[in-house]
Amino acid sequence: MGKNVYSSDVKWAVVKAKIAGELTTQEIMEKYGIKNKSQISTWVRWYRQGELYRLDQPIGKQYTYGHGPEDRSEDERKNRQLEHLKMENDILKKYMAIKKELKKK
């Protein structure tokens, strides 16, 4: 039984779904083929602690000094940061809508 390798796109989708509350952990595991719920909590923990570079690292390559391989271009880094900010914005919008709805009650 070998290690599972998940793409950075899957990791980001899982984090987005978990933080936004769109799916339960079990539903996320089924949808994305994640075998262990601790993997999801690890990715969410990295996200909350601001260790976003870890979500893009290949398996077994946990860089900390340079925050990842140097072969990543400036455009790729900017695109990843833009995607991250969009995701945060979507989550905040959803939070504000829920907060507004709860105030009405």
pTM: 0.59
Q: Is residue 2, in this structure, part of any structural domain at all?
A: no
Q: How far apart are CA 48 and CA 39, in angstroms?
A: 14
Dmax (CA) of the chain: 53
Cα separations in angstroms, 56 against 8, 60, 72, 75, 92: 5, 12, 10, 15, 23
Q: Provide the number of structural domains found in the chain.
A: 1
What confidence tens digit (pLDDT) does each residue in 63-74 have? 555 555 555 677
Residue 97's domain comprises 8-104
Tell me what pLDDT residue 53 has: 79
Q: Is residue 31, in this structure, part of any structural domain at all?
A: yes
What confidence tens digit (pLDDT) does each residue in 9-59 have? 889 889 988 988 888 899 999 999 999 899 999 999 988 888 887 887 766
Q: Is residue 89, in this structure, part of any structural domain at all?
A: yes
The larger pLDDT score, comparing residue 3 to residue 28, is at 28
